Structure 1
Amino acid sequence: MKTTERRYDIDWLRVIAIALLLIYHSAIVFQPWGVLIGFIQSNKGLSWLWVAMSMLNVWRIPLLFFVSGMGVCFAMRKRNWKQLVWERSKRILLPFIVGMFVIVPIHVFIWQRYYSQPLSYDWGRGHLWFLGNIFSYVIILLPVFYLLKHKADVVQGYVSKVFSHPLSILIAISLFVIEVVVVKPDSFELYAMTLHGYVLGFIAFLIGFLMVYSGKAFWQRVLSMRWIYLTLAITFYLVRVIKYELIASHIFTAIESILWIYTIFSFGYRYLNHSNKALAYLSKAAYPVYILHMIFLYWGASLLIPFQMPAFITFAGVNLFSFAGSLLVYELLLKRIWWIGLGFGLNTARNIGQKHYAPKILVSNKA
């Protein structure tokens, strides 16, 4: 017999991860190399901010892939493979295409104008590169996922037993370490449009799916070990800062990445597994806001940097402009014109204003 458990913490973590990405992107504006990767760069830096951002950098993108894999497991509960592909096409592929050809060219145009470059229509994956990765993972792993779904009576108990073991974290660590040893990335944190980012994302996506598939026993295990994960993650981070000056070996960084991710999932499961009106709103707004935010980040930076205010005030202003502008467009345009909202990951007009429901995990008594 199976029961259901609502999982609001996964929604919260997705919202928080996207919010941190917006702040992270704003921080790049105040680093001495920002312009080299296509950001508008302030002549007043906040180099110290990068110490904190470097902690986020080793897990911010892998976490999104973990959560995306979890989302597919949730979505498969009541969908056949055709419905899943159609739903992910609307949710991921369509916003990816709209973003490449509409959103990215706008913020590139702002950059060109700010630096007095020739104005041109320059489309590309930009900050939405990972959406293309995620959609490809869905297609590639679809046969595996549906085999696991239809053979759950045979397979799920075994997966649950493996993932609920105290040392199951070593599976994720081993796969991350193997990836960096084989792929040999130039930088562990260089995820965007690289082989490293693609393979690491694939591993994280698959593990995220299996975390949900394995059932409640896994989550009870990570909950019981949350303080161990946190202590180890902080220790690895401090060693990376003090001994390696933020640039440790890829193997060291891969281990730290998993420790932070398991820490986040365990504390999220403990403290965020509840809903309220804020989550109901933010869970719908976070995705389109992320798609839009680079336009307002570049626009805000181009308007505020010339005032030559103290760097931290400008940083706060860029963040406020980015969040507020994106939310305003979401509120006034995307929510109200369904066919525009569809291009930004909002499902359909009939979903707007509906009560929010968190994903459910089917929990076997065997787990």
Structure 2
Amino acid sequence: IIMTQEIHVRRYDIDWLRCLAFLLLIFYHVGMYYVFDWGWHIKSAEQSVWLQDVMVWSNLWRMSLLFFISGLVTSLVAHKLSHWAILKERSFRLLLPLIFGMFVIVAPQVYYEGLTQDLFEPGYWDFWLHYINPNSEFLSDHHGPIGLLAWNHLWFLPYLWCYSLILLAISPWITQVLSHRLLQSINGKCALAVLILVMLGIWFHLRANYPVTHDLFNDWYSHGKYFWVFVVGFALDKFPVLWQRLIECRRGLLIVAFMCYVFIIMDRHQMFQPLADLYTSSNGVRLFYGSIFVTNHWLWILAIVGYAGRYLQFSNRFLKKINRAILPCYILHQSVIIVFAANLAYWAIPAWVEAPLLIVSTALCCYLGYELINRSKVLKPLFGLK
């Protein structure tokens, strides 16, 4: 496969990756309903311990993959549009759906979360009037900075908008640095070492002091990790030779990524307990663990990009359809899961039957929701559609 930087060549592999990464969220968030001991908005009466090991596989890189793809798309779009046009489009497609989503789409999540915890009596309209009023005293112990209003799973939208604003502001400098002869001659091993070392520094210095909050203002570990991934995605478009190397080395990347994952699972099951006991007292041990986690994080992303570049360089009607539907489906999916799950719980269906039913129902409802949105001039901009 010949890689070029011609602006008229559309990267269908990136379209596929974007769609598949968002679709993974449906499976992941259904899993959050059933997984044992991981907090979520509502939880099933039947919870699984072994599901943790399955979900750890994608938990360490799934959101980073979305930011990586977003950075790459930003670079590809920058060939065609001005920075101002990109920011205007991002604002339209991210901020308006965020505001609408907080007031309308996320509200059922907060309602059913409170209902399952017996915090109030059933009655959605009365709840919603309190929910949209930042000055309401209703459930004051559960208030955030703007009362009960929350963005929950939509946190990705303001983060992406902020990163886009910063990156577009500094992109002339980044482009100048990336075009330097020394960087343009960098080989794959050195590039991978840079990715890992920078991420390891972020992991070592920020992870313990800044737990993940998704509140935008006090989430510095997340910002360090996701912005770095976003910048690397933006930079990959400038290095077609390295992109080609990812495709050529995809099997090796996948094998090492799987080995890192196996180590993480074995460690979770206390198979390296003498080593784990030194984690808090030894910086060397912390760096060792950090290196495993960071390497696992990057190699899964790079392997996936490599496999997509090898096998997904094509388009079809399904891709065209789902590529347009993916943002509305992302906005809808978690609320749909929670509404269905909360109501299915009354039927006490076995989890092995309920979980597939929940996945299919969510996918179908999101698709039907998109079809409705796509036919409405009012709803389109509220869900990020042109």
| Normalised TM-score (structure 1) | 0.85
- What's 1:28 paired with? 32
- What's 1:72 paired with? 74
Identify the match of residue 112 of structure 1 among 101, 111, 114.
114
Deviation string, structure 1 residues 225-281 (Cα, Å, up to 9, x no partner): 111101100111111112343998343211110011111111111011111111001
Distance 2:151 2:291 in 1: 28
Distance 2:185 2:97 in 1: 38
More moved, 191-200 vs 60-69: 191-200
Structure exhibiting the larger radius of gyration computed from Cα positions:
2
- What's 1:298 paired with? 338
Equivalent residues in 2 for 1:37-52, closer than 5 Å: 37=40, 39-52=41-54
Identify the match of residue 192 of structure 1 among 208, 214, 230.
214
Change (3 A) 1:160 1:313: farther
Q: CA deviation at 1:136?
A: 0.8
CA contact (8 A) 2:36 2:52 kept: no
Report the secondary structure of 2:185's partner residue: helix
CA contact (8 A) 1:181 1:251 kept: no
Report the secondary structure of 1:78's partner residue: coil
- What's 2:206 paired with? 183
Distance 1:187 1:283 in 2: 34
Structure 2 gap segments, 5+ residues each: 121-126, 132-147, 277-288
Runs (4+) off by over 4 Å: 156-159
Q: CA deviation at 1:158?
A: 5.1
- What's 1:350 paired with? none
Report the secondary structure of 2:188's partner residue: coil
Change (3 A) 1:268 1:2: closer
CA contact (8 A) 2:247 2:309 kept: yes
Report the secondary structure of 2:106's partner residue: helix
CA contact (8 A) 2:5 2:237 kept: no
**CA RMSD between the two structures:** 2.4
Change (3 A) 1:82 1:187: closer
Distance 1:257 1:191 in 2: 20
Deviation string, structure 1 residues 287-334 (Cα, Å, up to 9, x no partner): 1101011221011101212222221211112212221112111112x1
Q: CA deviation at 1:165?
A: 3.0
Q: CA deviation at 1:167?
A: 3.2
1:340 aligned onto 2:379: yes
Change (3 A) 1:176 1:239: same
Report the secondary structure of 1:269's partner residue: helix
> Which has the bigger relative contact order, CA under 8 A and spacing at least 6?
1
CA contact (8 A) 1:156 1:213 kept: no
Identify the match of residue 312 of structure 1 among 343, 352, 356.
352
Structure 1 gap segments, 5+ residues each: 348-367
CA contact (8 A) 1:31 1:47 kept: yes
Size of the alignment, in residue pairs? 339
- What's 1:365 paired with? none
| Normalised TM-score (structure 2) | 0.81
CA contact (8 A) 1:46 1:312 kept: no
Change (3 A) 1:276 1:59: same
CA contact (8 A) 2:36 2:51 kept: no
CA contact (8 A) 1:96 1:131 kept: yes
Identify the match of residue 165 of structure 2 among 139, 152, 155.
139
Identify the match of residue 193 of structure 2 among 147, 170, 174.
170
Give the share of equivalent positions with the same residue, in percent: 28
Distance 1:210 1:2 in 2: 12
Letter of the 2:322 partner, please give it: L
Change (3 A) 1:148 1:177: closer
Distance 2:242 2:159 in 1: 26
CA contact (8 A) 2:109 2:335 kept: yes
Q: CA deviation at 1:177?
A: 0.5
Identify the match of residue 237 of structure 1 among 249, 261, 271.
261
Change (3 A) 1:225 1:75: same
Distance 1:243 1:195 in 2: 26
Identify the match of residue 322 of structure 1 among 350, 362, 367.
362
CA contact (8 A) 1:104 1:125 kept: yes
Q: CA deviation at 1:131?
A: 1.4
Letter of the 2:198 partner, please give it: L
Distance 2:149 2:42 in 1: 18
